[in-house]
Structure 1
Amino acid sequence: MAIRNVLQLGDPGLRVVSEPVADPGAPEIAALLTDLQDTLTHWRTTTTYGRGIAAPQIGVPLRVIFLHLEQPWPLINPTIIAHSEEQMVVWDACLSFLCIFCQVWRYQQVDVRYQDLQGAWHTVHAEGDLAELLQHEIDHLDGILALDRMTDIRTMCTREEFEKRYRERSPYAR
């Protein structure tokens, strides 16, 4: 459909709490998911970054995220319903501020409930990199950015420094 502009750090649209999707099977939700997929594919091709994108990042305040790992994975109305007590520190960045990387706290494991395009509910148990990614994208739906979860401001670095020093040991190396 379309490659959409990704809102950048400072745009108030990134801080809006998203509304639930009433009808996951609606044609406008399918069109939104196509735009999210096209936009994410464009970013992955041009920057080599981008495992997921949330609708608020393209200015649509709906509870929709699109992941692309081994295959496309749309999640509608995702919610974290459980998480481990154990946390981990991971490097994080965002298509909305790809020039900045920082370390953030995330739960090691999460259970996420979401709907598919037919409206059926699913639950996924995620650990490690997938748990981190789901938390990052669901945070977008609540107007929360990775920078809000930073462990220490001294971990913040530019993309160039991250690539030189840390990328090889991160999920972004894949």
Structure 2
Amino acid sequence: MGAKKSSSLYWSLFSYENWKMYIAATNDGLCFVGSQNQPFEELVKWANHYLPGNDLIRDDEKLQSFADELVHYFQGKLNRFTIPIFYRGTPFQEAVWKALCDIPYGQTCSYSDIAQQIQKPTAVRAVGRAIGTNPILITVPCHRVIGKNGSLTGYRGGMEMKTRLLELERGFANIQLV
């Protein structure tokens, strides 16, 4: 999860039941999970901004292990991802994204909880901005962050996707996963 530059960015269209999204990885790990039913241009725009100079290469086989874990997640058979992930942001963003990975499956926390966890209790709005730029939806579970009053708040993938992910996790949360 460092700042190593890759020369290729591999992508695939992940599709399982009614879930469709573009995913991408460098040689260092999964670096992008797109929004539900968004066009390929979402990935291109993100790649040009955050990983400029990388060639976008479709490689379904190279991304199969990432797709497999996403399928297991959607089937309720996986509550913690083991695939390597690669993200690059400011130290603050990376601290926020790491904290998101600590939110237990099927549970939620608030933006202020994340600010407290990273020891920046007054940076609640900055935490929100960092969460909004999380490039790896689902595997870096920003959908688990809600408002302090328990309300659902913004999500890069859209509120419908956030709601569906939370409902999915709540439905499987009490099942013992292997």
Give the strand-richer structure, 1 or 2. Answer: 1
Q: Same fold (TM over 0.5)?
A: no
The TM-score, its normalising length taken from structure 2, stands at 0.28
